[in-house]
Amino acid sequence: MNRSGPAIFIDLDGTLWPDLGPGTILENQSLVQYEIQISQIFSDLGYLLIGITNQTLFGYESKMKLPKVLKYRRRLKNIVEIFSFDSLFVCHHHPKSQIPFLRSSCPNRKPGIGSIQWAIDIHNIDISKSFILGDRITDMLAGQEAGIPNRLLILNSRSLEWNEGEPFSNPKSIGFRTYRNLSEALKSIQLVIGA
Ligand SMILES: [Zn+2]
């Protein structure tokens, strides 16, 4: 049976590990010990944990190569297990993808809120107490548009970059708090929750 209640929506690349560009998700296999520590903190918070990620690693290639697809599938399974995600939503679309069937302005691609709404429906999430944690302004905008009140931005050199080719207009304002790293953001969540 699905758990329900409030959730922490979390981005992957740049939030759980440093963002090295498309394909980053395949580059951090050495961080397993660190990931286990972080996952314990999430587990102690007791909230649903929902991963939401744009993955464009195949968007810049004209053909998908099978070994890379298989490696990627193994890594996704490994991430879900390590972090005990209640759900992980992955959007592979990109408006300028080299692969025709991935070329799309998909509503599940952040700052679109399709994935967040999907998760809310599946898990009956109490959005009024939920959090979104990411390293890009587009994560914060998606959270705001979806009505998630607690929005935490982990600052890095790409935090204020807008996603290329997005059909979304710039909103008048986006509200969020900023943190220097994941550990600071998690401490802040612990304070709010009282964990
Ligand atoms: Zn998509």
Distance (Å, whole) CA 136 – CA 69: 26
pLDDT at residue 18, as a whole number: 83
pLDDT at residue 86, as a whole number: 95
pLDDT at residue 6, as a whole number: 96
Query: Residues of 17-47 as b/e, b for ≥16 C-beta within 10 angstroms?
Result: bebeebbbbeebeeeeeebeebbeebeebeb
Taking only the tens place, the pLDDT of each residue in 15-46 is: 998 888 888 888 866 666 778 888 899 989 99
Complete DSSP assignment for 124-164 = TB-GGG-EEEESSHHHHHHHHHHT-SEEEEE--TTTTPPPT
Neighbours of ion ligand 1 (CB under 5 A): 91, 93, 106, 108
Q: Spell out, as residue ranges, where the chain has pLDDT lower than 50.
A: none
N-term to C-term CA, the chain: 25
Helices 137-146, 114-123: axis angle to 10 degrees equals: 50
Distance 157 CA to ligand 1 centre (A): 25
Distance 106 CA to ligand 1 centre (A): 5
Distance 112 CA to ligand 1 centre (A): 9
pLDDT at residue 132, as a whole number: 98
pLDDT at residue 182, as a whole number: 92
* H or E element that contains 20: none
Count CA within 13 A, CB hemisphere, residue 137.
13
Distance 138 CA to ligand 1 centre (A): 15
Distance 64 CA to ligand 1 centre (A): 17
The structural domains of the chain, ordered by start, are 7-193 (3.40.50.1000)
pLDDT at residue 128, as a whole number: 96
Across all residues in the chain, what is the average pLDDT? Answer: 89
Closest CA to 27 of 55, 62, 52: 55
Whose tokens are 């994941």? That residue is 182
The phi and psi torsions of 51 (rounded to 5 degrees) equal -85, 135
Count CA within 13 A, CB hemisphere, residue 127.
14
